[in-house]
Amino acid sequence: MAVASVAMAPSVGGMEPAITLDQIYLWQREHPWNLEADTIVNSSNTLVVVSNLDEAHSSPRLHAAAGPGLIEECATFGGCHIGTPKMTNAYDLRARCM
């Protein structure tokens, strides 16, 4: 990939993007939910619920940042098969959706 043809993401809060692909920025740092973006993509467990037992997973912090609306919406899914995406509102986050 030619770096010169790629739009570079700005540094936000001292974080630099790990990889930049045209207008898609991949962030591999803690707390990327403060970024103003069209969408935030996050991995989750198959239940799509917050688990305090899974502290290595980002979902508990993401749900806390998004607020109770995200938890309520995820509860309506009835789970999620591995590899099957779900889209939600972003609620209290600066993104449009997740």
Please give the pLDDT value at position 3: 31
Instruction: State whether residue 64 is helix, strand or coil.
Output: helix
In the chain, where the domains are located: 35-97
Instruction: State whether residue 89 is helix, strand or coil.
Output: strand
The beta strand positions in the chain, using DSSP E, are 19-21, 24-26
Please give the pLDDT value at position 79: 79
What tokens does 98 get? 């997740």
List the pLDDT tens digit at each of the 98 positions of the chain.
333 333 445 555 565 655 555 666 666 666 667 777 888 888 777 766 665 545 545 577 788 889 999 888 888 888 778 888 888 999 999 888 98
